[in-house]
Structures are given as structure tokens and as C-alpha cells.
Amino acid sequence: MSHPRNNTRLRSARVAAGYHSQQALAEALGVGVRQVRRWESSTPPWPHPDLQSALTQLLGQSMEELGFTPPPGRERSKGQRPHSALDTTRKGLAAVPVQSTATIQPVSVGDDFAAVTRAHRSLYWSVAPTALFPTVIGHAELGCVLLAETVGRTRQSVASSLSETWLLAGRIQFFDLRLSDEADETWLRGLQAAREAEDHLLGAATLAHMAFVPGWDGHLDEAARRTVAARTYARRGDAPALLLAWLDAVEAECETRASNTRTALHLIGHGEDVLAAGGEQPVPDWFDWFSAPRLAAFKGNTQLRAGHLPQARTTLCAALDQLPESEQKQRSVVLGDLASVEAAAGDPVAACQYAVRALDQLKRTWYATGMDRVREVRQALVAHQGEQCVRDLDERLYDWSTTVSALAR
């Protein structure tokens, strides 16, 4: 008995795009896995228009190329451009009509929307993430509406600011709130907006952020695929040296978490060479989360995990001295790593002193990544928990404000 032929075209396109399971594609689209299973059957149903857009955007092929047969009367006219997946926001965000009935917005809308985006970018460094995040998401929802009500260069400007907004929202989710899966979905929306804007550098930055999600979970193959894609977009956009060095740092972070510290240090060394060589390409205004001191912080953390304690201490102290006072979030991370260096070196007093300084920083500006570093230090000091310095650290680590803040986030 012959078996029914499945939709191998969709399955092949799914795997080629990096979605190695039906569940992975379902999550990216915001649908149930049963829906994807039906699409990959021998008689795939014709998807809803919004899902058609999402499928073609994610997999890079037309509906016919993906194995679907349109019902009579629904054939797409030649040259018609598919709607963007941004026409509908999913997972709890408000739906946006495919075609707006409102009057086309004036040209000034692009600059006005961008001004709010810039304000959010600046507020990120000092405003509590739980307070800022809803505002950023609301701004993104507005951007989705404006995208349907603008044309030409104004639409491209809105799409660029929208991509940056999704990028910021994902950074808050991932680094500040520890919502990795949600951040991955948010960054996917940012990637779609970057495509609408035809902004390769925003695409590269978004893809590199997306590499953190599997990289921090130890899925190095998937992280590598995303960093390769990020580097490809960076080349297309003629990326500045600072962004190229950051891509090295991202890949090094993933390698470090997989215990490949030698590879990570090689990547960081390459990043240092790239920065030293410099270049004339301007750095985008939105690229405000990386600098030479931050590259040193990456290096110090890798040296710490490699067991190179004297080198890590020197590198991290230099990074701390060079970081501006305004970079309070990153300072908490570096202080936490310095505390880990001293704990590994057998000096609990010095370790606790650095950890307390990190907690002081976190009290002013909360950062989940910084608190993770402090918790790692405390775990490393278990053998010394009877000593007064560790007890004093516990008094700070588990006071009312710190405990409530940590559990609330």
C-alpha cells in the first residue's frame, strides 16, 4: 500500500531556514503545532492571509514554492508583493488591519515616531525595566499601525524605528527580566521590521541578539547559525569596526558558556584587532550598548571561566576604571565578575567587598544579569559561609528590597 505524499517542500524550506521541528516553526508563527502538521500533510489547507505573509517572510519562498495550492479565485496576481508579517502582531499584542482605512499620515510622522524611539533608548539605562517595558511595547504597537498608514521614505523611517523598538524590547526581556523565549519572539518581529526598512545593520544586530538565546542554553549549533547570518548582514551593510567587534564578542560569549574558552579568547583577540584597525564607517546612533571597555569586560569574564585569574583581575579592573559612571548596569556585571575572581583565588573578604559594591549598583539600577553574577559569587563562597564577611553579604543579599526586587522580576 502506498503512503500519502506529504508536503516535503514546506518541510525542506522549514529545515533550511533553521526550524528543525514543527514545534519551532509553530512558535515562531504564534500558532499551534497541529496547524504546522496540517500544512506538512499531503493536502495542506490554504493559510489565512496573515499567516501566508509570515510563512513567506520566515522561509523566503512563495506559497506555491512551499507546496500550497491556492483555492480557485485566490491566485496572487503577478508581481503582487506579499504583506509583511508585521501586519498582524501576535502573542497578546493588538491586531493591526492589513489595509488601513485611515488617511495616509504626514511625512512628519517618521521623525516624531523616531524621537520617541530615541527617548526610550536613553531611558533604558536608568529607568526600571518593569516600568519602561510596557511603554516600549505600546510604542511598538503604534509603529505597527503607522506602518500601514505611511508610504515611501516615511514608511521606511517608521519601519527602521520600529525595528529598533522591538530590539530594545527584546533586550529588556532577555537581559533585565530573564524572559528568553519571549525575547526571541520579540527580536523576530524586529528582524521583520528591519527587512521592511531594508536596514542590514539593524538586521545584523537583531540576529546577533537572537544568537544569545540558544547560546546561553548551550545550543551552540543554533547560536552559530544565527551569528553567521548576523555577520552576513553586517557585510551587506558595510558595518563599522565597533559593530564587527561586538559580533566577535557575541560569538565569544556563546563559546565561553559552552566551555570553549580558547576559541572565545581567540575571537575576542580578533575583536581587539578590529577595533585597533578602526575604520571610517559611522556607528549608528542606536548602537549604544558596546565599547572598548565592554569588550574588555567580555574578555575578563572569559579569562575568569578559563581559570586565568591574574589576567582576569587585571582585565576587569581596567574595564571597571574605563566604564563611564552612567553605565551602571555593566558596572554591576564587572563588579560581580571581580568578586568571582577573588572567590576563586581564595579571598572571601575581597570577594564579598566586590559583591556588596555590585549590590549597591543594583539597588540604584536593577539588572538581572548583574544579580546573576552576585548569586554565582555567593554559591562559590559556600565553603566560607560561616565567616563574618559572608554573613554580612547575606544580610545585603537578602534584605527586603533586594529580595522583593529579585522575586518580582
Q: Of 135, 169, 198, which marks where a domain is finished? A: 198
Q: Are residues 113 and 182 in the same domain?
A: yes
Q: Of 198, 228, 259, which marks where a domain is finished? A: 198
How much is the pLDDT for 5?
A: 60
Q: Are residues 119 and 185 in the same domain?
A: yes
Q: Are residues 113 and 53 in the same domain?
A: no
- Kindly give the interhelix angle for 388-397 and 368-380, rounded to the nearest 10 degrees: 150
How much is the pLDDT for 313?
A: 98
Instruction: Give dist(CA 147, CA 155) in Å, integer.
Output: 6
Of the chain, the end-to-end C-alpha distance in Å amounts to: 57
Look at residue 338 and tell me if it is in a domain.
yes
The gap from C-alpha 146 to its chain's centroid, in whole angstroms, comes to 24
Look at residue 189 and tell me if it is in a domain.
yes
Instruction: Give dist(CA 48, CA 28) in Å, integer.
Output: 16
How much is the pLDDT for 159?
A: 96
Instruction: Centre a 10 Å sphere on the Cβ of residue 313 and count the other Cβ atoms it contains.
Output: 20
Nearest to 196 by CA among 236, 143, 235: 143
Q: Are residues 119 and 174 in the same domain?
A: yes
Look at residue 357 and tell me if it is in a domain.
yes
Look at residue 393 and tell me if it is in a domain.
yes
Q: Are residues 64 and 127 in the same domain?
A: no
Look at residue 160 and tell me if it is in a domain.
yes
Look at residue 156 and tell me if it is in a domain.
yes
Contact indicator for 147, 155 with CB cutoff of 8 Å:
yes
- Kindly give the interhelix angle for 348-364 and 368-380, rounded to the nearest 10 degrees: 160
For residue 125, the 8-state DSSP code is T
Look at residue 297 and tell me if it is in a domain.
no
Q: Are residues 166 and 119 in the same domain?
A: yes
Q: Of 198, 229, 256, which marks where a domain is finished? A: 198
**pLDDT, tens digit, 9 for 90 and up, residues 231-272:** 999 999 999 999 999 999 999 999 999 999 999 999 999 999
The position carrying cell 502582531 is 89
CA distances from 222 to 212, 286, 386 (A): 10, 26, 43
CATH assignment of the domain containing 35: 1.10.260
pLDDT digit string (tens) for the chain, length 409 residues: 444 468 888 988 888 777 888 988 888 887 788 889 989 998 898 888 778 888 888 888 889 989 999 887 555 433 333 333 333 333 333 333 334 445 688 999 999 999 999 999 999 999 999 999 999 999 999 999 999 899 899 999 999 999 999 999 999 999 999 999 999 999 999 999 999 999 999 999 999 999 999 999 999 999 999 999 999 999 999 999 999 999 999 999 999 999 999 999 999 999 999 999 988 899 999 999 999 999 999 999 999 999 999 999 999 999 999 999 889 999 999 999 999 999 999 999 999 999 999 999 998 888 999 999 999 999 999 999 899 999 999 999 887 555 555 555 4
**pLDDT, tens digit, 9 for 90 and up, residues 18-58:** 788 898 888 888 778 888 998 999 889 888 877 888 888 88
Q: Are residues 336 and 409 in the same domain?
A: yes
CB-based contacts of 21: which residues, under 8 Å, 6+ apart? Answer: none
Look at residue 262 and tell me if it is in a domain.
no
How much is the pLDDT for 138?
A: 95
Q: Are residues 61 and 133 in the same domain?
A: no
b/e map 388-404, b = 16+ CB within 10 Å: ebbeebeebbeeeebee
What domain count does the chain have?
3
C-alpha cell at 38: 496540517
What is the pLDDT of the chain when averaged over all its residues? Answer: 88
How much is the pLDDT for 253?
A: 96
Nearest to 145 by CA among 158, 156, 154, 163: 158
How much is the pLDDT for 399?
A: 77
How much is the pLDDT for 3?
A: 43
Q: Are residues 331 and 401 in the same domain?
A: yes
How much is the pLDDT for 318?
A: 97
Q: Which domain holds residue 333?
A: 326-409
Instruction: Give dist(CA 387, CA 349) in Å, integer.
Output: 9
